[in-house]
Structure formats: C-alpha cells, structure tokens
Structure 1
Amino acid sequence: MDKIKIGASDLEIARINFGGNVFGWTLDRQQSFEILDAFVGAGFNFIDTADTYSWWVNGTGGQSESIIGAWMKARGNREQVVVATKVGSETKEHPVDISKKHLLKSVDESLQRLQTDYIDLYYTHFDDGTTPVEETLSAYDEIVKAGKVRYIAASNVSPDRLTESFEVAEKNDFPKYVALQPHYNLVEREQYETEYAPLVEQYGMSVMPYFSLAAGFLTGKYRSEADLNKSVRGQGAKRYLNDKGLSVLKALDIVAARHSSQAATVALAWLLAQPAIAAPIVSATSQSQLQTLFDAPLLRLDGEDLAMLAEASR
C-alpha cells in the first residue's frame, strides 16, 4: 500500500482515513472490531475519531475512543496505526472550548480511553472564537513536549484564526498545524477552495476532508425524499436533493460506469485527485461499503472524468 507523509510531519498514512464516528453509534463494539480488522487488513492505517464521539447517543461521548483503544490493545498494534482525535467540540455537558484548562484535561481523558500514551495527530475540533490563540498553542506546546501528542492539526477554525495560529506559532516557537480537516466534497466546494486552499498551499498543510461523501449523498443511495429513511443518517443528505446535487449524481453514474466502479469510489477518487488532499475521511458499516473505499486510491480519473465532475459540481 502506497503511503504519504502528513504535512511536515513524519506520520506516514495510506490515503483513506477511516471515520470513527460510527463506533459506538451505528456499530457496536464487536462490529467495530470487525470493520477495523478489515480496514488494516487491507493495508490502511489511518483512523480518525474525537473525544466527543458519539455524544448524541449518551450526551457525553467517548464511546469511539474507548472502542478504538480496546481494539488496539486486543490486537497489540498501536505502533502500526496512526490515530487522530480531536478536542474542543460541544456536548450537553460543556460548550465549544479550546482553553488551556479544557485542553489539558481532555488530552489525558482521550489518552486513557485510547489506552495509549501518545496521540499521533490532535485536532482543534471547533474554535470557540474567544480563547486567545496563544493560550491554545501554549497548551499544545506543553503536551507535545510531554510526549502526549506528536503533531497538531485544525478542523473548524476560521481562515483568520488559522492564519493567526501560524503567526503566533512562528513568533513563540510553538507547534504548527500540519493538517487541516475541512468540509469538502463534490457538492461542498466553494468555501474550501476559495478560503482555505490558499492557506493550505501557503503553510504546507495536508488536507483530510470530512463529509467526503456528503452524509452518504454521493454514494447515490439518496435520490428522492423517499430514500432518506434508508438509514439513520439519511436526513443529513436532504439538503443535496436539488438540481445541482442530482446533476452531480448523474455525472458520478456516468464516470462510475466508464470504470466499472461505484459512485462513492469515484467521489473519493475525485477528492484524491485534488491538490493537497491526503486522505478523505469516510466511514463504513459493512464489508461491501469498505470495498468502495479501498478501491478509491486505485482509481485514476482521466481529464474527461475530472472535467465532467467539475462542471456538474459548479
């Protein structure tokens, strides 16, 4: 399996990032173990989670990290996988918070649930917009120096605050974000491409898009409102049931047919063909869904494919 490095780090990853939000939600512990076994068995090694997954089940979260931690301990494979988790998200117990106090407390709780003494990639999940950037980065500096975190990254951080973070890090010799996790896919292009892509290039970040399949819409499963009840996540695809969304699905169908592939595989291959995209984040709850993910890094879209998809998604 070909691997690439994340930004300026020494973390080497295969080019699909498994989204752990399903662990403890739509997959129980045993099912999660089976999916993780299949994922790494196919040569992939990059797992994404957050301290708050899946807070919508119990109000607090922690299930996903706990399942991943139990799996790594049972398999004895901690050094073979790259684990990303996040801090700062809102739950029923606390608001969005990236203060030093919250960060130092949260990292220890994540380490305990993950049953490890280090996190490979630690994201600012959401920016509270009020904590001084210097305070957040000084906390990251402390935990990196303590060996608890290897590298830091950013997710839902505004372009201005992201730029400020690099300026403060440079001035104070704090750790710098090596990766960005934005909302980006074939039906959600504008904000990333206009506001974040220039910063990604400027600061040499790798990009791990979330909602890579637009809440499942880009699998082609949801083509009418009647289809939205096909899964517990179906309502998240409702916003794309419009002319643009259906045009994208039509283009995906055509390209998938050309390559004897699947719409989801093509949508991921399109992401992988974009500059700086390292590993799209995507989940699966079955072996058949996993195969569509595994096929994406192997699918090479040609100029005609890319032009058709670009035109449909404008």
Structure 2
Amino acid sequence: MQMQYRRLGHAGIKVSVLSFGSWVTFKNQVDVQRAIECLDAAKQAGVNFFDNAEAYAGGESERIMGQAIRELGWKRHEFLVSSKYFWGLHDGPNTSNTLNRKYLLEAIEDSLDRFDLDYLDLVYCHRPDPETPIEETVRAMSDAIERGWALYWGTSEWSADEIRAAWDVADRHGWHKPVVEQPQYNLFHRRRVEKEYARLYDDIGLGTTIWSPLASGLLTGKYLDGVPEGSRGALEGFGWLAEQLTNEQQNAIVRQLKEVADELECSLAQLALAWCAKNPHVSTVITGASRVEQVHENMRALEVLPKLTDDVLDRIDEITQA
C-alpha cells in the first residue's frame, strides 16, 4: 500500500502518516551506517518526516541523523526534520529545564550545526516551563522562524490550556503561532489526544505528531515473557522502562490484542501503529527502529488500516477497557 499524507493540522505542509524518529535508538543502538540503512528504507517507503531532539543521546542523535542524510544525498525539499528543546545539554540556571529566550535561540542554532542544515522544518518546546513567562517563550520561537532557522514551531506534552495560552499570545502580538503538539498516544495512553485536546483541533487547527505508539515496545508483544536481551528494555539506564514493559496487567491485555492481530493477519506492532493512524486527528505516527527489518515491518501497518472496521475498533476498545 502506498504511503498516505496528511496536513499538519491547519498548516500547509503534509506529513507522511507514518514517520521515523530517533529516540533511544540513535547512538544507543544505531550507528551512522545503520542509521543510513533505516532512514533510506523509511524514505523509500514514502516517509517524509524525521523526528529528533536535542536531548536524544546528548546531541549525538542529531549529529548521526544529519550525517546519514548527507551521505544519502537527499535534496532538502524531499524531507522534513524536527528537533525539540527543554532539558538542554549544559548544566546551569539558564541552560537546563528551561524555555528562556537565551537558551532556546542558542540551542536551535547549535542543532543546526549538529545537523549541518540551514534550517529545521519543525522545532518544539519539549516540555512546558512554568518559570519562564509564556510571552518570552512564544516570542523566542517566533523569532527563530523570523531568523530562518525553522519554518514551524510547536509543543510536546503541553496541556490544552498551555497550548491555547501560547496560541493566544502569538495571535495577540502577530507572532508565529504554534501549529503542532507532540503527545504520547497509544492503546494504553489515550485521554490527552482524544479528550483534552478535542476542541483545539478545530479551534486553532492543531496538528499532532504522536510518539510512543507501541508504548515503548510493550505493544509489540516481545515482553510477554520478560525482557529479551538486546531489546530497549534491556538497555543500561532504562530499568524504569523494564518495569513498565513487564507489567502483568497490561501484558494480559496485549495477549488479547494478539488474538485480534492474528485474525487480521498482521503483527501486534502493525495493529498498534494502524490503530493510532486511524485517528483522523493524528497527523503522523512516529515509528522507531534499530534495524532496517523493523522499518519494513512498521511500514506494513498501512496495509492494516482498511481492516480496522468499526466492529474491530469496538472490540479493541472492549479489550483495553477504553
């Protein structure tokens, strides 16, 4: 099945309904050569949006993605690339856990150096910052666009009230408005996308680039019998994730979802990705992979989309008690 493309909310650009992100994998599991293979496979499948963040692997994820893009020889008009800012790479009162103007403008400029790009398509405030006046943050993000460092900006894991406040500030001053939110969304984490943001889709034209569609791998079924060696849950420093992935109650639900996947003749991962993409308010589903084979498997979720009839969706809701 061919890739589908959706408007990013009310913005003019279109993003592939399945996209590719580098969280956890780049540097931790993926070097430049494997990044080249995964990015190439994703683009060959029609992916045009590639997600990253300053904090991923302490900036190395951006560097690896940028080098891979250069070696692949992509034309700049062929892809969209993003990064996100909040935690920072340097300790200090003005450089970590903040969205102040100094930090944001310096951080975005540094990202451009690591990517070796003239501009980013999307930049996000990676978390809200209650200590910085929202006017300062909105002005800084708008100024980054005015400087030509980015084309659009948005937020990640902001509340509906915070997003609306930022939009209102930008509207009042004639600054560039936030056009996109990057929230977690999967079969175990639904409320924010489906309920909290409900009015924002029409009111301000909010687009969404959702992350963790597989609940960090829980919805692949690979953790039904513990944490396998070489998996994300086995990575050093991710012990907190291993506890979540081996949750007995949630894995009991995964076992029931596997029955649905088997009937639809697809993998659990493909079912979970297609379910996310079925939501019309999801602009793109960010997928991840540490091997090119996973990229190919994830892209086949497109074949599952037409199989998600109302009856199937109702059954999934019943299983997940949504």
For normalisation by structure 2, the TM-score amounts to 0.89
* Equivalent position of 1:58 in the other structure: none
What is the CA deviation profile of residues 178-222 of structure 1, one whole-angstrom value per residue up to 9, with x for unaligned ones? Answer: 111111110112344332333334322121211111110000001
Any conservation in 2 of the 1:216–1:237 contact (CA below 8 Å)?
no
In structure 2, the residue corresponding to 1:260 is in which secondary structure?
A: coil
The whole-number CA distance in structure 1 between the counterparts of 2:167 and 2:159 is: 13
Deviation at 1:109, TM superposition (A): 0.3
* Equivalent position of 2:294 in the other structure: 289
Any conservation in 1 of the 2:270–2:297 contact (CA below 8 Å)?
yes
Identity across matched positions, percent: 31
**1:30-179 counterparts in 2 under 5 A?**
30-54=33-57, 61-77=58-74, 78-91=76-89, 93=91, 94-179=95-180
* Equivalent position of 1:250 in the other structure: 255
Deviation at 1:113, TM superposition (A): 0.8
Pair 1:311 & 2:308 matched = no
For normalisation by structure 1, the TM-score amounts to 0.91
In structure 2, the residue corresponding to 1:120 is in which secondary structure?
A: strand
Any conservation in 2 of the 1:252–1:267 contact (CA below 8 Å)?
no
The whole-number CA distance in structure 2 between the counterparts of 1:175 and 1:207 is: 17
Any conservation in 2 of the 1:27–1:285 contact (CA below 8 Å)?
yes
The whole-number CA distance in structure 2 between the counterparts of 1:175 and 1:31 is: 37
Pair 1:8 & 2:10 matched = yes
Any conservation in 1 of the 2:88–2:107 contact (CA below 8 Å)?
no
Pairwise CA RMSD: 1.9
The residue type equivalent to 2:5 in the other structure is K
What is the CA deviation profile of residues 232-284 of structure 1, one whole-angstrom value per residue up to 9, with x for unaligned ones? Answer: 43542532544641343133212211221100000011111113011111211
Specify whether residues 187 and 244 from structure 1 end up closer, same or farther in structure 2 by C-alpha distance, changes over 3 A only.
Answer: farther
The residue type equivalent to 1:276 in the other structure is H
Any conservation in 2 of the 1:51–1:85 contact (CA below 8 Å)?
yes
The whole-number CA distance in structure 2 between the counterparts of 1:244 and 1:305 is: 22
In structure 2, the residue corresponding to 1:307 is in which secondary structure?
A: helix
Specify whether residues 237 and 268 from structure 1 end up closer, same or farther in structure 2 by C-alpha distance, changes over 3 A only.
Answer: farther
Any conservation in 2 of the 1:248–1:309 contact (CA below 8 Å)?
no
Any conservation in 1 of the 2:21–2:288 contact (CA below 8 Å)?
yes
In structure 1, the residue corresponding to 2:317 is in which secondary structure?
A: helix
How many residue pairs are counted as aligned between the two chains?
307
Highest RCO, 1 vs 2 (Cα 8 Å, sep ≥ 6): 2
Deviation at 1:2, TM superposition (A): 2.7
Specify whether residues 200 and 229 from structure 1 end up closer, same or farther in structure 2 by C-alpha distance, changes over 3 A only.
Answer: farther
The whole-number CA distance in structure 2 between the counterparts of 1:240 and 1:67 is: 28
Structure 2 residue runs without a partner (length 5+): none
Specify whether residues 202 and 298 from structure 1 end up closer, same or farther in structure 2 by C-alpha distance, changes over 3 A only.
Answer: farther
The whole-number CA distance in structure 2 between the counterparts of 1:122 and 1:4 is: 19
**Residue range with higher mean Cα deviation, 288-297 or 145-154:** 288-297
The whole-number CA distance in structure 1 between the counterparts of 2:180 and 2:153 is: 8
Deviation at 1:49, TM superposition (A): 0.2
Any conservation in 2 of the 1:7–1:179 contact (CA below 8 Å)?
yes
What is the CA deviation profile of residues 141-200 of structure 1, one whole-angstrom value per residue up to 9, with x for unaligned ones? Answer: 211112111001110223322121111111111111111111111011234433233333
* Equivalent position of 1:260 in the other structure: 265
